[in-house]
Amino acid sequence: MDDRALRPKSLKFKEPVIDVAFSPAANLVASSLITGHVFVHKYAVEGNQRLLRGKPHKKSCRSVCFSGDGQQLYTASKDRSWQAMD
């Protein structure tokens, strides 16, 4: 049996991805890029959907993680700053 029909399609980006995080509360995945951009996608077999595109940092976004309840997203940058996003 081919399980490809049971997996969501891969997310693709034009710039290098530095970190990814999966929400503990929903089918969401956050990606941080070398450009400082952050993306949040709904990640599902039915199809992926971009929910957020932001640039919280001027330099590369080195880390991204969800809070324990999945309601906030935290990012950290090469410039030694961090941001919290709802």
Q: pLDDT of 52-81, one tens digit each?
A: 999 999 899 999 999 999 999 999 999 999
* 13-27 residue pLDDT tens: 999 999 999 999 999
Phi, psi of 3 (to 5 degrees): -90, 5
Residue 43 lies in a domain: yes
Residue 51 lies in a domain: yes
Residue 9 lies in a domain: no
Helices (H), 1-86: none
Residue 26 lies in a domain: yes
Tokens of 9: 């399609």
Residue 1 lies in a domain: no
Residue 28 lies in a domain: yes
What is the bridge-based pairing of β-strands 82-85 and 73-77? Answer: antiparallel
Total structural domains in the chain?
Answer: 1
Range of the domain at 49: 17-85
Residue 10 lies in a domain: no
User: What SS3 state is found at 40?
Assistant: strand
